[in-house]
Structure 1
Amino acid sequence: MSDMPPSQARSRTKVKPMTSKGTGESDTGGVRADVWVWSVRLAKTRSAAATACRAGQVRVNGQRVKPAHTVRAGDEVRLRQGDRERIVVVRHVLRKRVGAPVAVEAYVDNSPPPPPREAVAPAGIRDRGTGRPTKRDRRDMERLRGLAPKPHE
């Protein structure tokens, strides 16, 4: 052991810088898939991102990935959100969650546009306080949603 005091000995240890510019951007290498999806705001929480990975809703370069899979710059990430699929190409690897303007710069969005609101089937809207729907009302609502067969005439 050296004859230096412990405080000086600790200060000589080498610390590897994790980020550049304080934005959470990684200098080299990659980051976990769930962390990247969360940090660029494709998922609200990190646990939601990990759950999506485990459920097979996240694909990197066409392969289903686990939450610990490494994502690098240039990878194509596909995320299934409900009935919509987000397709993004990684520009920058982020380790920390960042603001929306910075997050948008971290990937190229190749997703198809969402369907217009008019294309969504109208749901049966009932007046408030009218009570429970009758059997006829339920059948009409199912027909509007496209769930029920047409009535026999």
Structure 2
Amino acid sequence: MAQKQEEDDKVRLDKWLWAARFYKTRALAKTAIESGKVHCRGERCKPSKEPRLGDELQIRVGLEERTVEVKGLSVVRRGAPEAQLLYAETEQSIAKRESMAAMRKSGAMGIISDGKPTKKQRRQLHQFQDSGAAQ
């Protein structure tokens, strides 16, 4: 029993992010950490970092950025209700995330491309470029 508790005290950051359901796989969590999308106590970290209770993590997933405090450690991925007990999101993070979502919904953050432009959009681009070249 004591050995099991020691193992839960020593958990890799990538495994914790996976167990807390921020990323679908450990490989995605590892890639996110290595690319600088996860910061521990304001600094970049490695996937092998061992988070401790009370640590503050900044996690960026897609367009959302969360600041969470580590409340529990686990090496096992369980259901979402149990995973949410492993962390607590800060009030500032919740407010910022909701305001950014509202801005995206209203279209205030600009146009986000869905891929290739349509034929109509291409015509408009060509018209715009031709009018700029003539001046």
Q: TM-score under structure 1 normalisation?
A: 0.64
**Aligned partners of 1:104, 1:138: CA distance in 2, in Å?**
47
SS, match of residue 78 in structure 1: strand
Query: C-alpha displacement at 1:122, in angstroms?
Result: 6.4
In the TM superposition, 1:30-41 aligns within 5 A as 30-41=10-21
Match of 1:105 in 2: 85
Match of 2:119 in 1: 133
Alpha-carbon RMSD across the aligned residues, in angstroms, is 3.1
Do the aligned partners of 2:64 and 2:97 also contact (CA within 8 Å) in 1?
A: no
- Structure 1 residue ranges, 4+ long, deviating more than 4 angstroms after superposition: 121-125, 137-140
Percent identity, aligned pairs only? 32
Per mean C-alpha deviation after superposition, the further-off stretch among 103-112 and 67-76 is 103-112
Query: C-alpha displacement at 1:33, in angstroms?
Result: 0.6
Match of 1:59 among 39, 53, 60: 39
Query: What 5-or-longer segments of structure 1 have no aligned partner?
Result: 1-14, 20-24, 126-131, 141-147
Q: Which has the larger radius of gyration?
A: 1
**Aligned partners of 2:113, 2:29: CA distance in 1, in Å?**
33
Match of 1:70 in 2: 50
Greater helix share, 1 or 2?
2
Query: C-alpha displacement at 1:123, in angstroms?
Result: 6.6
Do the aligned partners of 1:30 and 1:73 also contact (CA within 8 Å) in 2?
A: no
Do the aligned partners of 1:31 and 1:94 also contact (CA within 8 Å) in 2?
A: yes
**Aligned partners of 1:90, 1:57: CA distance in 2, in Å?**
17
Query: C-alpha displacement at 1:133, in angstroms?
Result: 0.3
Match of 1:94 in 2: 74
